[in-house]
Structure 1
Amino acid sequence: MVNTMLENLRADCNHCFGLCCVALPYAKSADFAVDKDGGTPCQNLHTNHQCMIHSDLRQKGFRGCVAYECFGAGQKVSQVTFEGKDWRQHPTLAKDMFAVLPITQQLHEMLWYLQEALLIKAAQEIHLDLQNMFEKTEQLTQQSKEQILKINVSEHRAQVNDLLIRTSELVRANTLHKKFPKNISRGSNLIGANLKGYDLKGANLRGALLIAADLRNADLRKADLIGADFRDADLRGANLTDSIFLTQAQVNAARGDHHTKLPPLLNIPDHWREK
């Protein structure tokens, strides 16, 4: 069951109508080569809903696309919510479809974190609460488009977050009183920080800004990394083996190598293998 659920929470572009490439806006920056308004198809989107430069996104200035993860929301919205009806062939559905995607994406991200928490032995005592919240969240994604558009995502996220914080505390129980530098904490601004070789085991780095930080050979085991910004962070040789709430999108945004140790649910990005 666990493996099936995790697979359902991974993007399957072959069963999606290229929704993230249309619904979401982006601005010309280091992550995107051009400006694009929400609801406008990306210039690289083929009529078959596949990306024409998928294997060269980083080289062509679309690193933001590589770092994006819908957690399976794309295929859920395409095949379940809208019953396989293509926005190209059913243009009257397009506006609602594009509005539903970001809501479902957020819910699916919560499902990913909850499923990960359910796999953590240290959180055994709250597994029933986690399972109940998982089922409640999944039910929200199964509703009609009208019902999904009425969901108070912030309110639901707060309920999920309470359980994720508790999970984090249980995982990091033996390190909660560990002395970290004052700037190593939840939401810290660590942009460009030199953290090479640091012992960050059990650190609370929720929402930390680690953009371009030097984390080479750092120990990040049992660290809470939910929402941490790893864009261009150097993770070569870092140990993130049993860090928690790290996603593929965060890993894809960072730099690393074959010496970087990742949690078992995540994969080494192709660009880490490039010379």
Structure 2
Amino acid sequence: MIGVYFCFRHDDAPSFFEDPNSQKQVPCPHIHDPAEKYISLVIPAFNEEHRLPGALDETINYLQERAGKDKSFTYEVVIVDDGSDDATKQVAFDFVKKYTVDNVRVILLGRNHGKGEAIRKGMLHSRGELLLMLDADGATEVTDLEKLENQIHAVASKEFRVGESTSSDSSFRISDIPLAAFGSRAHLEEQALATRKWYRNFLMKGFHLVVLLTAGSGIHDTQCGFKMFTRAAARKLFTNIRLKRQV
């Protein structure tokens, strides 16, 4: 019988996976550990028992199909249950049983921390060279991860001359370069502006101005829940911050 593993984190206490069948505790991987998978998909979920199954079916079907074609393509799906009070946890566990704990893992936060902290916890305990955050509602096609993946490899190849200066170093991995690629729905902005309330458009424009002043002009859509990081970038971003839910 396949054990269902889940990860606990209580403040600064050690994190671990626990197998309910054997009661054994296994240390969680950490972002500072070497990568063990090519890609990790981190899915924060709060009360998503109805939308999560469809999103996971689509996601895992894609990952399995790609892995079947390319043996070097290894993956994991990390579902972070952000204190749900519905059956989200059970839905996630069912996928662990079906696809094994090596491919699907569940992190239980115990109480609701907010989406940002749920993503951070998932990133901290992932094993991928590349780490992708995506929403549990399936709002973005999982196949679009290839667009972000290709951009990261293209920038790495151009800016760091991967394949030339590193060709003699067989230990080089894309995870060593701090890069991030963000999905964007900015091309749909005109349609969205027509359907939003005026005050939401006003607030959105104000927020975009703040982003422009602080982060530069390269980010056109900060709210799209589809972002990819190399392991090196995730180390820098997620180990030095602690996100709290605003109340």
What TM-score comes out, normalization by structure 2 length?
0.26
Higher strand proportion, which one?
2
- Larger relative contact order (CA 8 Å, sep ≥ 6): 2
